[in-house]
Amino acid sequence: MEREDYFFGSPKINISNKVYALIIYDITDDKMRTKFAKLLNGYGNRIQKSGFEINVNRSKFDKLLKQISKYCGNSDSIRIYKINGRSEVIKFGVDNTPNQEDVTII
């Protein structure tokens, strides 16, 4: 078992412009599901076959939200869980999530 602590800006203490979220989905069409996974790869890390963790700035998160509806058909489901404040992730088993570092290009 592995534990990771996270602290992200909450409405009461806005210390960050970052958004940490878990996106899970059930898309029935294979081509659309593949396209959606490719989209999410640009925003975060795949943690399960149909689950991604993202940690991006607010404007990038808003850009992602505007794109999502075109991937969701009548029988599909896409859920986004925004995580604010102090959070903990408890992991069991294999963790193939790469370490994500903030990069600033000047």
For residues 64-76, one letter each, b for 16 or more C-beta atoms within 10 angstroms of the residue's C-beta and e for the rest, the string is beeeeeebeeeee
Inform me whether the pLDDT recorded for 100 exceeds 80: no
Question: Is the pTM value of this prediction over 0.85?
Answer: no
Inform me whether the pLDDT recorded for 78 exceeds 90: yes
Confidence class for position 16, pLDDT limits 50, 70, 90: low
Q: Mean pLDDT, to the nearest integer, of 26-54?
A: 95
Distance of alpha carbon 85 from alpha carbon 96, whole angstroms: 25
Q: Mean pLDDT, to the nearest integer, of 5-30?
A: 74
